[in-house]
Amino acid sequence: MKDQSELAQNIIEIYKKHARTWTVLRGQFLYEKAWLDHFLSLIPEHSTILDLGCGSAKPIAAYLIAQGHSVVGVDSSDVMIEMAQQNFPEQRWIQADMRQIDLGQNFQGILAWDSFFHLTPDNQRKMFVQFSRLAETGTALMFTSGPSHGEVIGDMFGEALYHASLSQDEYRQLLKDYGFEVVKMVAEDQDCAGHTVWLAKKIDEKF
C-alpha cells in the first residue's frame, strides 16, 4: 500500500486517466446551485471568476458563464482542459497545478470546489497565500473541505483517492490571517450532498 504522500501525488494522474468517465459519472445535476448563487451574490455582475479544478467546465463553470460571468479555469488534467475548451472555447482554460499558478491578474471570485481537498494539509495551508495573492478587496472565495482534521482515502474506479482536511478552527484562522472574513460555513450540508463548504470574502488588501 502506498503511503499518504504518494497517494496525494497520484491525484493528478487519476484525474487524467479517468477524466471522461468521471465527467459522465458526475452528470449535469447542479446540487451546488444554492451555494453558487450565494457566492455570486457577493460579487459584481460580469465578474471574472477563477475556477481551480474546473474539470470539463460542466456543470459548475457552465452555470457561472450562464449568469454572465467570465471564467478562467485551471485543472491539472490535460483531458479535462481539452473538454472545457471544447465546451466553452470563448473562455480561458489552463492546464496547471493550482499550487503553482501565477496568472498576473486578480479575480472577483475564486472557486475551489471538490479540488482543494485533494491537497495535503501542508499544501492546503500554503494555498491561502495563493488565494490572497489572486484576490482583491471584495473577492469571494469558496472551497470545500472535510468536516474535521484528518486524511481519508476514498475510491474512484478502483483507484485510491486521497482527501485531507484541516480543522475548522485552523481554516478560520488561515482565512483571517490572509485577509478573508467567513461569510458562511456549513459542515456536511445535507442540502448539498453532504459537502462541507466555506464561503469567505476578502476584506483586507494588505495580505
Q: In this model, does residue 36 exceed pLDDT 70? A: yes
The pTM for the full model equals 0.88
| pLDDT value at 9 more than 80 | no
pLDDT at 139: 98
Q: Which CATH superfamily is domain 4-202 in?
A: Vaccinia Virus protein VP39 (3.40.50.150)
Condensed to tens digits (0 to 9), the pLDDT of residues 128-140 reads: 999 999 999 999 9
Pairing label, strands 180-189, 70-75: unpaired
Task: Let me know: does 91 contact 60? Beta carbons within 8 Å.
Answer: no
CA distance 207 to 81: 30
Please state the domain extents for the chain. 4-202
Among 161, 203, 158, 160, residue whose Cα is nearest residue 180 = 203
The backbone torsions φ and ψ at residue 122, rounded to the nearest 5 degrees and listed phi first, read -65, -40
SS3 59: coil
Burial class of residue 206 in the structure, from the number of CB atoms within 10 Å of its CB (0-12 exposed, 13-18 middle, 19+ buried) = exposed
How confident is the prediction for the chain on average, in pLDDT?
Answer: 89
Q: How many residues does the chain have?
A: 207
Lowest mean pLDDT among 29-38, 149-158, 170-179: 149-158
For the record, the C-alpha cell of 97 comes out as: 497545478
Look at the alpha carbons of 190, 143, 201, 67 in this order and tell me if their dihedral is positive or negative.
negative
Compute φ and ψ for 8, nearest 5 degrees: -65, -40
Residue 161: its pLDDT value, please? Answer: 73
User: pLDDT at position 1, please?
Assistant: 40
DSSP 115: S
The rounded distance, in Å, linking the Cα atoms of 181 and 163 is 25
Lowest mean per-residue pLDDT among 16-30, 75-89, 191-205: 16-30
pLDDT at position 154: 75
Q: What are the tens digits of pLDDT across the range 110-125? A: 999 988 988 999 999 9
